[in-house]
Structure 1
Amino acid sequence: MEDAIRIGSRIEMFTDDRLIAERCGIRLAMHPPERKEVVLTFPEPWEGPHTSYFTVIQDEGRVRLYYRGNTAADDSHEQVTCYAESEDGIHFVKPELGLVEFAGSKRNNIVLKGVLAHNFAPFRDRSAQASTTGTYKAVAGIGNAAQTVNNRSPLYALRSEDGLRWSMLQDEPVMTDGAFDSQNIAFWDGEAGQYRCYNRYFTSDGIRGVQSALSSDFIHWGPQRRNTYSYGAPMEHFYTNATIPCPQVEHLYLSFPMRFVPERKRVAGHGERGVSDAVFMTSRDGTTWDRTFMEGWVRPGLDERNWTDRNIMPAYGCVESDTEFSFYIGEHYRFDSVRLRRVAVRKHGFASVQADYAGGEMTTKPLLTTGERLELNFSTSAVGSVQVEVADESGRALNGLSFDDMEPLYGDSLQETVVWSSGTSLRGLEGRPIRLRFRLKDADVYSFRMKG
């Protein structure tokens, strides 16, 4: 028999085939986000057409947004990091902070000025040590040759108590073994009990790749580990990575790289080569990444200005509401119309197990669960349906929990409780390997969990 996978009562999403033992008439389907409104434009003299490298932080009743503004060159000391905020993740304001002078005035929303503003990426530190080392932390650095240390480009660590006033954690760089000229990101990984930092490197043949390191104190970092990819996926240019632990599913890492294709040029009159889109991938250990979905997560679309270089760059971070996850995409890079657009995904609905009108069945691997009821995040058409059977490790349906004991579900719900006509609950199955068997018709099941 297969070793049982212990899932307890956590949410499990169908973003890969890890839990799937058998399927017939079922496929794994990715669900790209829905394009929503433009939430911010950048016409101020300290912003401009190179505004980029966005970070969003959902933080106790408000959404904080950080972004790079003015930049004449990568190593310019006139570069700035700007700040905006929102109550709903849709309507943003740029507060007049009075912190940093630009062109002789402090009437702006700038929080940082200098070379480190090129790719400053902050986060809210959820670790126990944040009370002494800084409620907010950030990494920043630039890979310009003038900034190298022993032929390596440095990454620095910063801290803040209010998210607005920033200082260095130490004068020396905390990391030098990478090419830090793009948006490097860091966060407290509660599952690992350490900080993680994802950053850029270049392969020997010049392809932009993603690597990561771990730290217990945000100062001393372990060795870099380069991302590896399942299914023999080819190396592609990942210009940024926008990696996060999935909200409420922290054992699963999500990454939204901007995939760059430097040899292509769609708009003849544009001065720079390269086109890009955003892709979606997942990991269960932070270094080995599943690329079930090689297709674009967000395409450039009909807008010609998104078919120029370095567009469709996902912001680092996610905003959660009752029904959806909001992400943010940079558009119109190098144009005066440069802007930030919100895109939305069904909550825990990045992908699904899906059947068409003809229907299909899927059986999980043996699972160890806790809880007395099963909740589904699912959607059907008007004629579609979902049924679930609970079986023992060998695949025999348990008494009262078979397909015959369940009226088909139909509709659309983020957390529908499965009810068997027998009234049988799942209490008593803890510690006993079970399999879930799904029977679908014109339906998607995005995720499930045992609730107790």
Structure 2
Amino acid sequence: MAECFSRRGFLGTTGRGAAALAATRLWESNACGANEASSFQVESGVRQLFLDDVGIEQIDRLRRVVNKPTRHAENPLLSPDTHWERGCQVYGTAYYDEAAGLFKLWYLTGPKDRGLKPLELDGYERAPHTTMAAYAKSKDGVHWVKPKLGILPYDGDKQNNLLGIGKHNCEGISVLHEPHDPDPARRWKAVYWDHGSGGWEVRNGGPFCKAGPEDGWHASFSPDGIHWKKYTNNPVIPKYCDTNQNVLYDPRIKKYVGFSRFGFGRRLARSESDDFMHWSEPQLVLQCDEADGPATQIYGAGVDLYEGVYLAMIWIYRAGGDGKIDTQLATSRDGIHWTRVGDRATWLELGDEDSWEGGMARSVERIITRGGQLYIYYCGVHGAHTGPKIKNVVRKHPVQIGLLNQRRDGFVSLDAGDEEGTLTTKPFKLPRRKLFLNTDATDGKVSVAVLDRSGKQLAKSRVITGDELSARAMSPGGLAKVGDTVRLKFVARNAKIYSYWFEA
């Protein structure tokens, strides 16, 4: 267990809190033995981030920092400006379609100012406050168009951007594009929570949806992401799945993986499927604990695979505190065992108190990479969530959608100060001969050496200064042979190290 001990030493020397230490020890009890049995692997072309301690053997005088994203100057980018939108909510999916050259956004909305007047949508009567899926597109990710799709009649008018997905209340639509599916009609897949199949009634002067036999996690298929056909045996998971849904395909286990509440309340649960139609019994995988504060809960999450690692942007709801919701990060190698990133530091903070995002700031799923930048969409809510301590809230702004930008791989960095810091990786088989770094050494320097099993230096890189997203650190002639077992040793001063990777 020597390598596990080294990681605990790292946590202590970098000043991370007792709660994080306890959480990491818990994680080690589940996963560390397995990690020792199977060696650390570095695949060609896959970037190695520092979200967790997997792959780290020894570290000294480097500090893990959660880096805040940058809000776009034109935020909010998507606002409710039609009579069928009371808000624009990212219980949905953002995606960049390479073939079409378009950013695409599936988001949640609902009727505006209907009182108790129901809607007739697609042949069914829906509650006046029903939730509906909508679609928008953009060429640059900033300026959005709500196309007139001609699909779902809103008070008899189909000239809107509403999608015909969901029969009662389509909530939390998650869209997955698989352009190489042999069935063209299934190249776009979606899951969502449909609920209220028991009809609706008036309670306490307002509309209320009643549970029914068709409530649960539903699946639909589409040839284009716009025209959807529901799976005939819905619901695929008959569970209560309030707020956001997430679905992705994990190529390592060759399964679809879904995340939602799945009846566990404000926690994160997981299910998997071979065919998108038959899903496993959900399993609870992540929840808050005492270290998060009284009655703190995971309200929802945007989950994606980033460089082969699960990354969850978890919405932290402080029900026992100020009732507000901001976003932290969690990571996992298998989607089951999770590590809270950076001592539970807040990644997406709230906006100003009276702003459109002063009460809640929640990220959508799908992390979009364009060049050296990440595009991540989120919604803002004015005012806290009502709950045990917050009984009434007057919202001055509608729910709206904005854009976050972050340096590629920039969620977390290992930072060195005036004193030189070092990091040594676990041993791994050299996948390729060209080593690249993503680092900012504008005010300092970074170098890296290749070591053999015994720790003997085989080669050393040039000294990197400046801010480089893709710094070619080492020439092919200076490296060991592909397939050899090596370690890397990084040396840094007044610099940030974001990631490293190998290419042919």
Contact 1:62 1:86 in 2 (8 A): yes
1:203-218 → structure 2 map (5 Å cutoff): 208-218=266-276
Question: Structure 2: which amino acid aligns with 1:118?
Answer: E
1:9-408 → structure 2 map (5 Å cutoff): 9=44, 10-36=46-72, 37-38=74-75, 39-49=77-87, 51-59=89-97, 60=99, 61-71=101-111, 76=127, 78-112=130-164, 114-125=167-178, 128-129=181-182, 131=183, 134-142=186-194, 146=198, 148=211, 153-176=215-238, 178-201=239-262, 208-228=266-286, 236-246=296-306, 249=307, 251-265=308-322, 274-293=323-342, 294-305=344-355, 311-332=360-381, 335-382=396-443, 384-398=444-458, 401-402=459-460, 406-408=461-463
Determine if the alignment matches structure 1 residue 447 to structure 2 residue 504. no
The CA distance in 2 between the partners of 1:239 and 1:95, in whole Å, is: 31
Which residue does 1:271 correspond to in 2? Answer: none
Give the RMSD, CA atoms, in angstroms: 2.8
Determine if the alignment matches structure 1 residue 410 to structure 2 residue 465. yes
The CA distance in 2 between the partners of 1:360 and 1:161, in whole Å, is: 52
Percent identity of equivalent pairs: 24
Contact 2:266 2:297 in 1 (8 A): yes
Contact 2:356 2:397 in 1 (8 A): no
Contact 1:126 1:188 in 2 (8 A): no
Higher percent of residues as helix: 2
Give the CA deviation at 1:133: 5.5
Contact 2:170 2:194 in 1 (8 A): no
Give the CA deviation at 1:321: 0.7
The CA distance in 1 between the partners of 2:313 and 2:465, in whole Å, is: 32
The CA distance in 2 between the partners of 1:353 and 1:68, in whole Å, is: 37
1:284-338 per-residue CA deviation (whole Å, 9 max, x = no partner) reads 10111111320111110324245765x2111122222111111011013555443
The CA distance in 2 between the partners of 1:128 and 1:102, in whole Å, is: 33
CA 1:393–1:42 in structure 2 vs 1: closer, same or farther (change >3 Å)? same
CA 1:27–1:145 in structure 2 vs 1: closer, same or farther (change >3 Å)? farther
Alignment length (residue pairs): 425
SS in 2 for 1:155: strand
Ranges in structure 1 where 5+ consecutive residues have no aligned partner = 266-273
The CA distance in 1 between the partners of 2:263 and 2:334, in whole Å, is: 22
CA 1:377–1:144 in structure 2 vs 1: closer, same or farther (change >3 Å)? same
Determine if the alignment matches structure 1 residue 7 to structure 2 residue 42. yes
Question: Structure 2: which amino acid aligns with 1:125?
Answer: E
CA 1:99–1:292 in structure 2 vs 1: closer, same or farther (change >3 Å)? closer
Ranges in structure 2 where 5+ consecutive residues have no aligned partner = 4-35, 119-125, 199-209, 383-394
Higher relative contact order (CA 8 A, sep 6+): 1
1:427-438 → structure 2 map (5 Å cutoff): 427-428=480-481, 430-438=482-490
- Normalising by structure 1, we get a TM-score of 0.86
CA 1:51–1:244 in structure 2 vs 1: closer, same or farther (change >3 Å)? closer
